[in-house]
Structure 1
Amino acid sequence: MPDRFKVMTVGDAMITFNPSVQGPLRFVESFNRKVGGAELNFAIGCARLGLGSKWISRLGKDEFGRVIYNFTRGEGVDVSEVKLVEGYPTSLNFKEINGDGSGKTFYYRYHSPITTMTPEKVKDEWFEEVDLLHLTGVFMAIDPNNLKVVKKMIEIAKDKGIPVSFDPNIRLKLWTIEEARNAYNEIFPYVDILLTGLDEIRLIIGKDSAEDLGKFADQYGIQDLVIKDGANGSRLYREGNWVEAPGFSVNPIDTVGAGDGFDAGYVYGWLNGFTPAQLLRFANGVGALVTTVSGDNEGLPYLEEVSAFINNESIIER
């Protein structure tokens, strides 16, 4: 057994601008600059839990690209395969937050540097000492060519006996549900761990009963089908059986990144041999803690924080 398990993921990252006041974006005059992105959040979440974490990406060779690169490196993530690309602007997004807590996200990621990745640039060396490959639908949605990159990475991972986890993380602002389904169906047969929200799986297969979900997992040979349901907790289908775990009681401030945190927590537990019940409880705890802090990844907890929290829910030392 290695001293420390290592995970790898691939995806775009963005500079996120959070509004200083609530209301329509056209009336907001100042913003707080943050760093975000689903795969980046996952990589940081894994690093904070103590896993070796490697993030593959392309950023603009500009000031924002350097902000993301330096921030990620500072979190202990392996950024040796993160390249700064000339002539491609680093992706941005602006958040709009209403008085009732609801909001919108405005993406500016056209001509993203991540589109410079091609299957031919995927290298066997990336996979050295990697124990799990994590993928999400966000990367695939940005550009049609990225599906080819994902398939190449899966091919190498399977050749090396590396398990694959996948979070659909549907972004209907980036592609249609039909496009998403077609892409997912191409990779489902190679996924060992599927981490999906309840609403997402309904969109993907049009059903959500326990029986139908079990049939879906069996059809594609998915070892672990994990259904995330926010404050309601989560469920795991494995070897014909369902295991459930309730969510934790917290006062949520910001739910952005909670799903990415859950994924990091689940992968941590899976690699360390947790039982199904332990897996769900640990991942639920990570996801809950993320919601107690505003920001895409600011709330991702360290291992000791999760351990204290899941053993005594009243302890939240942030």
Structure 2
Amino acid sequence: MSKILTIGEILVEIIATERGNGFRAPVPLIGPFPSGAPAIFIDQVGKLGQACAIISRVGDDDFGHVNLDRLRADGVDVSGIEVDPMGTTGSAFVRYREDGSRAFVFNIRHSACGQISLNDQTRKLLDDCTHVHVMGTALYAPSVIETILTAIGTVKAKGGTVSFDPNLRPEILGSPGMREALSAVLAKTDIFLPSGEELFLFASAKTETGAVEELLKGGIKAIVLKRGEAGATYFDGSRTISHPGFEVTEVDPTGAGDSFGATFVTLWLAGMDPAAALELANASGARAVTKAGPMEGASIRAELDDFIATAARKQA
């Protein structure tokens, strides 16, 4: 049986309840919500019943334990999460602007997850894993980059696979070594999951078709291009498959792409036909945006099936 591993930040998210531009004046807040792109991804994998784990660090504080409790309850192997008695769990404050975009204030590099490295426990965990999923947000510090690249090398050496979601945030693009790390991960990637214009950050071609062809020729087995509310498109060497998005009332989009990716990767590894996997992944992303909090809309398989069936009845 395959076991999916991810590595990177575990945070709490604090959400402003009023729209506006940033945090330069007092605003009402709700939270803490369990968060961090790798954590959201792996939580959704666990909800689907797939064996999975995460390597990370949290502080021995309430913010750390709210994440540990959620991940453990949803079926994630948390043995790779180090609890630092002297550390503080990372955080992300988010506020929606009037146009629907988001402003973030992150505490990652100077939190407990600012230093993630392999030890005897995590190396043993790594030996059990057959797939590594990389979130671009996790390439924020040299020690984390080194850990991720080591894990990729270990898993690929024994015939395993790698998926990569760039998930680029402007607030962290200047992190030391990030751009070089993005290229290094892409070179080992089997399935690539960019969102929208991210596709063109990794190819010289200026058209979607050209960029996809260029990336597939570089060794990537499949590309899944996320298009937000418009759905997603799957590409491999022989076919292109598109599936429209589902119409929902958006409450909080944070985590939707992570849930989508987790669902698609889990089903792809299980051998599901890409068209069916794409539909279920779109459903996962759509359900995720209907709840406030990045992990609150994570879905079990039965919920995804019911969601798709309900959408089909409405269209009939």
Structure-1-length-normalised TM-score: 0.89
Matching residue's letter, 1:209: T
- Counterpart-to-counterpart distance in 1, 2:26 and 2:313: 39
Residue 314 of structure 1 and its aligned partner are, at CA, apart by 6.2
- Counterpart-to-counterpart distance in 2, 1:208 and 1:292: 34
Counterpart for residue 297 of structure 2? 299
- Counterpart-to-counterpart distance in 2, 1:197 and 1:60: 31
Q: How does 1:136-215 map to 2 (within 5 A)?
A: 136-140=135-139, 142-176=140-174, 180-205=178-203, 207=205, 209-215=207-213
Counterpart for residue 80 of structure 2? 81
Counterpart for residue 106 of structure 2? 107
> CA 1:55–1:177 in structure 2 vs 1: closer, same or farther (change >3 Å)?
closer
Q: Find the partner of 1:287 among 285, 288, 308.
A: 285
> CA 1:148–1:32 in structure 2 vs 1: closer, same or farther (change >3 Å)?
closer
- Counterpart-to-counterpart distance in 1, 2:70 and 2:215: 37
Counterpart for residue 260 of structure 2? 262
Of 170-179 and 131-140, deviating more is 170-179
Q: Find the partner of 2:5 among 5, 8, 15.
A: 8
Matching residue's letter, 2:93: F
Counterpart for residue 248 of structure 1? 246
Give the length in aligned residue pairs.
Answer: 312
Q: How does 1:268-279 map to 2 (within 5 A)?
A: 268-279=266-277
Counterpart for residue 91 of structure 2? 92
Q: Quick check: 1:255–1:290 contact (8 Å CA) kept in 2?
A: yes
Would you say 1:221 and 2:244 are equivalent positions? no
Matching residue's letter, 1:93: A
- Counterpart-to-counterpart distance in 2, 1:180 and 1:46: 26
Residue 266 of structure 1 and its aligned partner are, at CA, apart by 0.3
Identity %: 28
- Counterpart-to-counterpart distance in 1, 2:204 and 2:294: 29
Q: RMSD of aligned C-alpha atoms?
A: 2.4
- Counterpart-to-counterpart distance in 2, 1:166 and 1:233: 19
Q: Secondary structure at the match of 1:34?
A: strand
- Counterpart-to-counterpart distance in 2, 1:235 and 1:83: 37
Structure-2-length-normalised TM-score: 0.90
Residue 147 of structure 1 and its aligned partner are, at CA, apart by 1.9
Q: Quick check: 1:308–1:315 contact (8 Å CA) kept in 2?
A: no
Residue 35 of structure 1 and its aligned partner are, at CA, apart by 1.4
> CA 1:62–1:293 in structure 2 vs 1: closer, same or farther (change >3 Å)?
closer
Matching residue's letter, 2:129: V
Deviations 1:102-156 (A, max 9, x none): 431111224222233235768542134433211111111x213322211100110
> CA 1:77–1:315 in structure 2 vs 1: closer, same or farther (change >3 Å)?
farther
> CA 1:112–1:177 in structure 2 vs 1: closer, same or farther (change >3 Å)?
closer
